[in-house]
Amino acid sequence: MNIKENIKTIVIKKPLKLDCGQIINNFPLAYETYGYLNEKKDNAILVCHALTGDQFVTGINPITKKDGWWSYAVGPNKSIDTNKYFVICANVIGGCMGSFGPSHINQETKKIYGTDFPVITINDIVNAQVNLLDHFGITKLFSVVGGSMGGMQVLQFVSNFPEKTKTAIPIACTSSHSAQNIAFNELGRQAITADHNWLDGKYLSNNNVPDKGLAVARMAAHITYLSKKGLQEKFGRNLQERDDLKFGFDADFQIESYLRYQGSVFVDRFDANSYLYITRAMDYFDLIKQFNGNLSNAFKDTKAKFFVISFTSDWLYPTQENKEIVIALNAIGADVGFVEIESDKGHDSFLLDVPDFLKALKNFLDKSYIE
């Protein structure tokens, strides 16, 4: 993959001590921006991407040539209006879109890291991307926003840097990864490592890719992003380009064909080891434990205005888990609003055209900006 020329990168010289104990420095952080930073530098919004996202939030992704992952929400006149706001998004460390990750070369051994890459956490991810604020000379963001793993970063960001944002919007997320969340991630990791092309993580130096395993991981995860009702309405038992069952194991059903397609396009754009590392970061996320069982303490130093959003059909990060964040904030008298959006589109709702969600996001941002 020759992706370098389309990717903006800063090199972070300052040493960063990771939760695992290792210290990294002089590492690249890839990012993209949209819109313009105003003179007062008070219109910046940090968008945090989810597990398989990247810094190309909107417009055409120059690498995949497809629409950015949050094109519905971000852009001129959209909910996160790039005519008004300066949007920054960093590729997470551990990722595979230019930021320091397992496909990079270890300068000490001159070999590709693979599984020698340090295990990173959401805390490490956030501590790396805060460097972008210094890069742009921004002392305080207008907002930090993200869904799913992006929402976890939002919570961690406000906790780590209570003064660095005016508002915070965690969407469809949790303050502590549940057993069910970990279970699904483990299924994905097992699919990857069981692929004989994975080669203990050294597939890149052997010109190999564990594409079957990575595709299965993506297929399994994709199911968790949708709702039963949504799947039933979209696919039902419809057959794929055939009139009858074929009594074999080809994709008879449209849903099978759809999942296979999702798996196959994913392997072209995502690195298997990155998938292992980022899912691990999510599994290790437990802000409640970090604050000794009291989530409120994570937010006690912030004056940020929060807006928590969940979706009715999201069973991966259900409303109750989002509400726990609201409860923790109310317990310390923080400024927090909350809405559960009606949608059949499951966890993926935040990425899709869900008008009530897009409207709420826009209204919250625009009203908070003029305050």
Partner 1 sequence: MKPEYKIITNMINEKSRVLDVGCNDGTLMEFLKKNKNVDIRGIEISKEKVQVCISKGLTVIEGNAEFDLKQFPNDSFDYVVLGQTLQAFINPEIVIKELLRVGKKAIVTIPNFGHWKVRLNLLTKGTMPVTKTLPNEWYNTPNIHMCTIKDFFKFSETINFKIFKSLALVNNSVSNINNSNLFIKNLYSELGIFLIEK
**Contact set for partner 1, span 303-342 (CB under 8 A):** 305, 307, 326-327, 330-331, 333, 335-342
Check residue 297 for interaction with partner 1 (CB under 8 A): no
Least gap, CB of 295 to partner 1 (angstroms): 12
What DSSP element (H or E) covers 341? strand 335-341
314 as an active site residue: the answer is: yes
Least gap, CB of 299 to partner 1 (angstroms): 14
Active-site residue, selected from the candidate residues 54, 124, 314, 348: 314
Q: Which stretch binds partner 1 (CB under 8 A): 91-99, 216-224, 274-282, 361-369?
A: 361-369
* CA-to-CA dists, residue 335 to 73, 204, 295, 303, angstroms: 24, 48, 15, 8
Dist. CA 77–CA 317, nearest whole Å: 29
Least gap, CB of 340 to partner 1 (angstroms): 6
Active-site residue, selected from the candidate residues 195, 211, 347, 348: 347
196 as an active site residue: the answer is: no
- Helix, strand, coil distribution of the chain in percent, nearest 5: 40, 20, 40
Least gap, CB of 70 to partner 1 (angstroms): 20
Report how far apart the first and last C-alpha atoms of the chain are (Å, whole number): 46
Dist. CA 146–CA 89, nearest whole Å: 10
Dist. CA 164–CA 138, nearest whole Å: 9
- In 3D space, the residue among 276, 272, 282, 279 whose CA is nearest the CA of residue 214 turns out to be 272
Check residue 78 for interaction with partner 1 (CB under 8 A): no
Indicate the residue among 195 and 321 with the shorter CB distance to partner 1: 321
Site string for partner 1, 11-50 (x = CB under 8 A): ----------------------------------------
Indicate the residue among 123 and 343 with the shorter CB distance to partner 1: 343
Q: Is the dihedral of CA 201, 207, 208, 214 positive or negative?
A: positive
Q: In the structure encoding, which two tokens stand for residue 231, read together?
A: 């799947």
Q: Is the dihedral of CA 68, 90, 368, 357 positive or negative?
A: positive
310 as an active site residue: the answer is: no
Indicate the residue among 159 and 343 with the shorter CB distance to partner 1: 343
Sequential DSSP letters for 201-251:
GTTGGGT---HHHHHHHHHHHHHHHS-HHHHHHHTTT-BSS-SS--SSSS-
Check residue 166 for interaction with partner 1 (CB under 8 A): no
Indicate the residue among 42 and 340 with the shorter CB distance to partner 1: 340
Q: Which stretch binds partner 1 (CB under 8 A): 47-55, 100-108, 164-172, 356-364?
A: 356-364
| Number of chain residues interacting with partner 1 (CB under 8 A) | 24
Active-site residue, selected from the candidate residues 71, 148, 159, 274: 148
Q: Which stretch binds partner 1 (CB under 8 A): 109-117, 147-155, 272-280, 363-371?
A: 363-371
C-alpha gyration radius of the chain: 20
| Residue 318 CA neighbour count, 13 Å, CB half | 6
- How many Cβ atoms sit within 10 Å of the Cβ of residue 353? 11
Indicate the residue among 256 and 356 with the shorter CB distance to partner 1: 356
Indicate the residue among 243 and 371 with the shorter CB distance to partner 1: 371
Indicate the residue among 31 and 142 with the shorter CB distance to partner 1: 142
Binding site for partner 1 (CB under 8 A): 305, 307, 326-327, 330-331, 333, 335-342, 356, 359-360, 363-364, 367-368, 370-371
- Catalytic residue annotation: 148, 314, 347
